[in-house]
Chains A and B, each alone.
Chain A
Amino acid sequence: MTRMTCCSIAPPDLLARIVEEGDPAQRAAAVQTMAASASMRTQRAFVGRIAREFDQDVRALAFMQPPEAAEGVRQAVYDLQHGGRSQLPGDLVRAGDDPPVEDAAVNDVYGATEQTYDFYNEVYGRESVDGRDLELVSTVHYSTNFDNAFWNGAQMVYGDGSGRIFKVGALTGSIDVIAHELTHGVTQFTAGLEYSSQSGALNESFSDVFGSLVKQRSLGQTAEQADWLIGEGTLAPGLGTALRSLKAPGTAYDGDRQPAHMDDYVDLPDDGDPANDDGGVHVNSGIQNHAFYLAATAIGGYAWEKAGKIWFETLSGERLTPTADFQQAATATVEVAGELFGDGGEREAVETAWRQVGVLA
């Protein structure tokens, strides 16, 4: 059953026009004026809605968040029915405690989003991507044959896949891909790692690490039992096993050139050319990915409990600057390991892992 969207916030015409046509300062002022008119009860949902509809950075609206988030809907899934960006988020099809619907894509996204929320909340005590229980909004069936899923700064967006790169329906069925993307939201609200070259590769790697950990926890797997793959089974037939491998970077798909060591770092320019991947952010992420895998398997047990905790504190605990490089991440994780677990095996495992990938001497 499809419910029509109730996303129209019906702002005063003038404010809406300013938001759409004004300069950045005018847009921000208009949004704040509109936001001030919302009741406290609806503010939490309103923040996300404004950010989505008017492309405002959700972080700029943090002043609107009530100090204690109320109980209520934590997520909503919309169906765009192959519309484009200007039609986001689409028609609301499942929210709150609604029962499953007929569309598997909706139910898969709903389930994986909930598991990702629970992972961050139950393991690390974090409420939603912003730490303040921001409603998690997802849109499925974006565009036509669209080969991607991404966090657009305010919500999740999922394409169906074309069958040429991704199998049709595979993106919405992959819990680690969904957790990877939601972790980009966590990074946005924490370290804010710039999406370029080494800081961008760290941004990608944190998403791979926690994407894999959400999957491992959902399966009850230890570090030794996990496959450490991202997007296993999502690629079209003949392309490869997965998008990335934390265990063996460079082996996930045909032509995968992820390095596992600084000696093999791929120096690409961040020049806006799609082929250069923002300076190789999806390539060189293999180095921190592998460091995490080495540390987690050396520590043993469930990887989210110790290695994951070290990485989460590094990401969220003001340990990294937005332009952090691999060296800064390595130093920070070693320090955090010592603070959390003393000078025992965990700290040594992390330090050794970074040496093994050539970041620490």
Chain B
Amino acid sequence: MRIAIVRGGGVAGVTSRACLNSDALPPADAEALEERLRESGLLEMPEGPRRRPRHPDELLYAIIVEEGGTQRTLRFTDENLPDAVRSLVEWVDGRSESEHGIGPPG
């Protein structure tokens, strides 16, 4: 399973990506990632944006989950990012196995 978190907007206006592959994790941590993913509810949510962003410089999120040959993309703004999803994002950000990249929009 692979999870990618794309963030855009914000005062910086840059696009950042954090990617984590469960294969890179020790088995217990890979299981913890699966558990957090289930708790986040991302696998049950309909794909697409929740609501158009209206606050200037608010962060926009796209969370892409790839598993078993399928891919789901969920989009949020900072305002409507569910707490359980934010917790997952912070967990992925905090893993040393995560790969991070930053670039301009587009």
Contact check, B105 vs A231: say whether CB atoms are below 8 A apart. Answer: no
Contact check, B10 vs A150: say whether CB atoms are below 8 A apart. Answer: yes
Q: Which of B8-23 contact A (CB under 8 A)?
A: 8-16
Please name all residues of chain B whose beta carbon is closer than 8 Å to the beta carbon of A150 when the two chains form the complex: 10-11, 55-59, 78
Contact check, A278 vs B55: say whether CB atoms are below 8 A apart. Answer: no
Contact check, B14 vs A151: say whether CB atoms are below 8 A apart. Answer: no
Contact check, B9 vs A274: say whether CB atoms are below 8 A apart. Answer: yes
* 26 A-B pairs whose Cβ atoms sit less than 8 Å apart in the complex: A84-B86, A85-B78, A86-B83, A143-B90, A144-B90, A148-B11, A150-B56, A150-B58, A150-B78, A151-B55, A153-B54, A165-B12, A184-B56, A187-B56, A195-B54, A195-B55, A203-B56, A255-B102, A257-B106, A273-B75, A275-B8, A275-B106, A277-B15, A277-B105, A277-B106, A282-B13
Asked if A147 meets B78 with Cβ closer than 8 Å, knowing A268-B106, A276-B8, A283-B106, the reply is no
Count A-B contacts at CB 8 Å.
139
Asked if A180 meets B11 with Cβ closer than 8 Å, knowing A148-B59, A152-B55, A272-B75, the reply is yes
Chain A: number of interface residues, binned into ranges = 35 or more
Residue of A nearest to B101 (CB): A164
Please name all residues of chain A whose beta carbon is closer than 8 Å to the beta carbon of B53 when the two chains form the complex: 195, 272, 278
Please name all residues of chain B whose beta carbon is closer than 8 Å to the beta carbon of A275 when the two chains form the complex: 6, 8, 15, 62, 105-106
Q: Which residues of A approach B to under 8 Å, CB–CB?
A: 84-86, 143-145, 147-153, 162, 164-166, 171, 177, 180-181, 184, 187, 195, 200, 203-204, 207, 231, 235, 239, 243-244, 253, 255-257, 266, 268, 272-278, 280-283
Q: How far is the CB of A256 from chain B (nearest CB, A)?
A: 6
Asked if A162 meets B62 with Cβ closer than 8 Å, knowing A148-B10, A268-B106, A274-B15, the reply is no
Contact check, B12 vs A166: say whether CB atoms are below 8 A apart. Answer: yes
Q: How far is the CB of A134 from chain B (nearest CB, A)?
A: 16
Which has the most chain A C-beta neighbours within 10 Å: B15, B93, B106?
A: B106
B104 close to A (CB within 8 Å): yes
Contact check, A143 vs B11: say whether CB atoms are below 8 A apart. Answer: no
Contact check, B60 vs A149: say whether CB atoms are below 8 A apart. Answer: no
Contact check, A231 vs B11: say whether CB atoms are below 8 A apart. Answer: yes
Please name all residues of chain B whose beta carbon is closer than 8 Å to the beta carbon of A147 when the two chains form the complex: 7, 10, 12, 16, 59
Q: How far is the CB of A60 from chain B (nearest CB, A)?
A: 14
Q: How far is the CB of A215 from chain B (nearest CB, A)?
A: 14
User: Once bound together, how far apart are the Cα atoms of A159 and B68, in whole Å?
Assistant: 36
Please name all residues of chain B whose beta carbon is closer than 8 Å to the beta carbon of A272 when the two chains form the complex: 48-49, 52-53, 60, 75
User: Once bound together, how far apart are the Cα atoms of A288 and B9, in whole Å?
Assistant: 19
Contact check, A177 vs B75: say whether CB atoms are below 8 A apart. Answer: no
User: Once bound together, how far apart are the Cα atoms of A23 and B55, in whole Å?
Assistant: 21
Contact check, A256 vs B104: say whether CB atoms are below 8 A apart. Answer: yes
Q: Which of B84-106 contact A (CB under 8 A)?
A: 86, 90, 93-94, 100, 102-106
Residue of A nearest to B10 (CB): A148
B29 close to A (CB within 8 Å): no
Beyond the given pairs A148-B11, A150-B56, 14 more chain A to chain B contacts, judged by CB atoms under 8 angstroms and listed by A's residue number, are A85-B79, A149-B11, A162-B93, A164-B100, A195-B54, A195-B55, A235-B12, A243-B11, A243-B12, A257-B105, A266-B105, A278-B53, A282-B105, A283-B104
